[in-house]
Amino acid sequence: MTGLADDRTVVQRILDHIDRRSTDLADQCWREPVANYRSPARLAAELALFRRTPTPFCPSSALAEPGSYIARDVAGVPLLVVRGSDGVVRAFRNACRHRCTQVASGSGCERAFVCRYHGWTYGLDGSLRHVPHEHGFPDLVRSERGLVPVAAAERHGLVYVCQDGSQPIDGALADWPSPIGTAHRVFAFNEQDVAANWKVLAEGFLEGYHIRSTHRDTFYPLQYDNLNVVESFGRNGRIAFPYKRIEKQRALSPAERTADGMLTFVYNLFPNVMVATFPTNLVVVVLEPRAVDCTRMLTWTLTDRQATSSDAGVEVGTARDFVNQGAAEDRAVSLSIQKGLASGANDFFEFGRFEGAITHFHRALHEAVDGAKP
């Protein structure tokens, strides 16, 4: 498919699958070479793709007020993204224009960024505001030595960045029915390094064939094994994981049916970002490759439940903890896969017709990296 169905259509497809004991099937299987998970040259080509592709950097709500910033590496390049005094989000290369010292780290809220080496100071708009003992730099033109900008834009509740500014960023952003609303706020954030290739981690989000085996005591009692609706929109994908309570929708007319609280949607925003919906919250996951066998996983939990309600906080926290249990199970499998890669047992991964979202992911990745279908 090349577009996304509305909720009522998705619910009907799921009910039909339940009745038929079936699931969405891809047209063909896919064999992905194991070498593409182990090759430094392949990873370098993928990182180059990341740098020239507009990709989500963080949720907009992670930069909630003027001066809010996040500094982290993107495709191996240190970037600083900040919300200005005018409310506009801007991105810069995180390097002082004097001697390349990074001017910020982690996240927080500042009125200006001061280089800790010599005190060169930059405004929230990236302009060079102050140089101590400036008379020692007689040829310095401050207006020309601000932080180097990187293209940035806010769409769909996310902040996008693109390091290669050769093309306008706005025209490249995916048009998708984002579940992130203006009321969503950051409930929790987690950052960890996982000793696995980024594609191994991505694949774990994109199929329900493993639900019973991997999540026997977490997701499986609430969900179906190997029952999914798989869709694509451009290079991106969406997979629906229904809950067993979706059976209650049978009693409603088609016009009354809803997917809210009845399933989890996982959106793969090409190439390395996942947005997953849950009844009380949603998560935004960025998979940032650090090496062929190491990925930094950044996870924001968002909720639109009222922060003033203590009961809502407990409910969201409990749901977040439950999702984290399942995520830990997926990570454990990813670590096992990464170790198994060294065994030499397989020349390729065999993705079956149940795993069509993974096939779409790899096909899009091959076309983007290699410039042609494999």
Delineate the domains of the chain, giving CATH numbers in brackets.
7-52+177-370 (3.90.380.10), 55-172 (2.102.10.10)
Residue 138 structure tokens: 């007689």
- pLDDT value at position 306? 76
The predicted model gives 60-71 an average pLDDT of: 98
CB atoms within 10 A of CB 216: 12
pLDDT value at 2 more than 70: no
- pLDDT value at position 309? 61
Cis peptide before 271 (omega within 30 of 0): yes
pLDDT value at 166 more than 80: no
Give pTM, 2 decimals.
0.95
String of b and e for 85-98 (b: at least 16 CB within 10 Å)? eeeebbbbbbbbbb
- pLDDT value at position 1? 42
- pLDDT value at position 96? 98
Residue 182 structure tokens: 């203006």
Q: Minimal CA–CA distance to 260: which of 61, 6, 1?
A: 6
With pLDDT > 90 as the criterion, what percentage of the chain qualifies?
A: 91
pLDDT digits (tens, 9 = 90+) for 109-165: 999 999 999 999 999 999 999 999 999 999 999 999 999 999 999 999 999 999 997
Q: Minimal CA–CA distance to 132: which of 143, 145, 149, 117?
A: 117
pLDDT digits (tens, 9 = 90+) for 263-286: 999 999 999 999 999 999 999 999
